[in-house]
Structure 1
């Protein structure tokens, strides 16, 4: 188990470097709106939704209704439909850990798990679990640190809400450069751009996710799995 934890920690280091910084950005933004570190802690433990937590700050401060919050959450997190479908087989043997694995499947954690190869001598189930757990711990620590720092110092938070988008772009580019085949990547980008043009920036996420899922299923059934 110690080796499994150690290997999982090593695998999670790239996300650690980003999540501590991004978590700090979230904590600072939340503190700047008058919410204490307790809110940062609670949101990072029980919500843990990355970009949605940044949006939640605006929802809290604007007095958004429950219905509006639900719709916004669905729009922003619709991409997890794709993530979840691709992880069904990988999570089928997780047992009692499965609910947490589903809960903790953020963009960056997904990028690690989807290509994770369990090191020799490690327990696969707990290797995946510890990667997910470590990633959330990094986010929690960053959020707390940012909130505390924000309460002690006066910091200009302009642009901090772009930090999550920047990390996601870096991860996508890294995966593109290291992969041998890019068919599914082209499908995703092509459909997203088309839906953006057709539906606009406020409503393109759900249509693009639906079309991407249907397209990937079709291509996979036609033998496209060889071009992943």
Structure 2
């Protein structure tokens, strides 16, 4: 137990930026979901089972549209396809986590991936538990924020017009930060070009899934350069604890 508490205390400071970001995004999601007639219980349930901020926002439209499971499956696969690359790049690190790795693979969202790549446990802290608690804390923050948003939405009347733009704004900020932090801009340019091409050819109602498919195919061809960059980011420290 002492080992777990030590790992939890070491992991918590690294997750504070995620906590602040999730509060805004999760509350906005909960409010928006409630405005569509779904109680905060749905916000909690979706956050526990889905745990994918962007897909949860997309899921609101799926829930309120005509029943189309095939489209929902394809959309979910495309929106979260980037997690395939995340998981592959962290296979070695997760091998240290034992039975905990099953949950850690489930909880591998963008923010957790960034922390697991960058954060190192202090000396004497078990790496497996350290990574586990980073994942668990981030998941807990998201569930809590979404629940708060759902409760607020049921207690106070909000004008939700435009609130669904919060995820668009988030991804624009992430894109700009990634652009500034990376020397190679080919993946970003591939994404822009594929999206614009599909938008022009297929129109705004039908371009998303084809664009994501084209992006994935293009990035797969570019994967060697991508994997080299990720491996450089995620190489385990030589002084890691067992």
Cα contact 2:96–2:128 (8 A) shared by 1 = yes
**1:196 is the counterpart of 2:195:** yes
Cα distance 1:227–1:67, how it changes in 2: closer, same or farther (>3 A)? Answer: closer
2:183 aligns to what? 182
Indicate the SS of the match to 1:105.
coil
- In the TM superposition, residue 101 of structure 1 has moved relative to its aligned partner by 1.0
Work out which of the residue numbers 137, 143, 147 in structure 1 matches 2:140. 137
CA RMSD, 1 decimal: 2.5
- In the TM superposition, residue 168 of structure 1 has moved relative to its aligned partner by 4.0
Cα distance 1:224–1:25, how it changes in 2: closer, same or farther (>3 A)? Answer: closer
1:51 aligns to what? 54
Cα contact 1:195–1:207 (8 A) shared by 2 = yes
Indicate the SS of the match to 1:144.
helix
Cα contact 2:89–2:227 (8 A) shared by 1 = no
- In the alignment, the residues of structure 2 paired with residue 78 and residue 136 of structure 1 have an alpha-carbon distance, to the nearest angstrom, of 19
Cα distance 1:191–1:174, how it changes in 2: closer, same or farther (>3 A)? Answer: closer
- In the alignment, the residues of structure 1 paired with residue 165 and residue 44 of structure 2 have an alpha-carbon distance, to the nearest angstrom, of 21
Question: 1:7-38 deviations in whole A, cap 9, x for unaligned?
Answer: 21100011100112111111101110111111
- In the TM superposition, residue 147 of structure 1 has moved relative to its aligned partner by 0.4
- In the alignment, the residues of structure 2 paired with residue 61 and residue 9 of structure 1 have an alpha-carbon distance, to the nearest angstrom, of 37
**Could you list the runs of 5+ residues in structure 2 that have no partner in the other structure?**
200-206, 235-242
**1:146 is the counterpart of 2:149:** yes
Q: TM (normalized to structure 2)?
A: 0.82
**1:212 is the counterpart of 2:211:** no
- In the alignment, the residues of structure 1 paired with residue 23 and residue 232 of structure 2 have an alpha-carbon distance, to the nearest angstrom, of 37
Indicate the SS of the match to 2:115.
helix
Work out which of the residue numbers 8, 12, 17 in structure 1 matches 2:15. 12
Cα distance 1:62–1:122, how it changes in 2: closer, same or farther (>3 A)? Answer: same
Cα distance 1:225–1:21, how it changes in 2: closer, same or farther (>3 A)? Answer: closer
- In the TM superposition, residue 176 of structure 1 has moved relative to its aligned partner by 5.6
- In the TM superposition, residue 43 of structure 1 has moved relative to its aligned partner by 0.5
1:91 aligns to what? 94
Cα distance 1:165–1:135, how it changes in 2: closer, same or farther (>3 A)? Answer: farther
Work out which of the residue numbers 2, 5, 12 in structure 2 matches 1:2. 5
- In the TM superposition, residue 81 of structure 1 has moved relative to its aligned partner by 1.8
- In the alignment, the residues of structure 1 paired with residue 198 and residue 118 of structure 2 have an alpha-carbon distance, to the nearest angstrom, of 32
Cα distance 1:227–1:6, how it changes in 2: closer, same or farther (>3 A)? Answer: closer
- In the TM superposition, residue 227 of structure 1 has moved relative to its aligned partner by 10
Indicate the SS of the match to 1:204.
helix
Cα distance 1:75–1:64, how it changes in 2: closer, same or farther (>3 A)? Answer: farther
1:35 aligns to what? 38
Indicate the SS of the match to 2:222.
helix
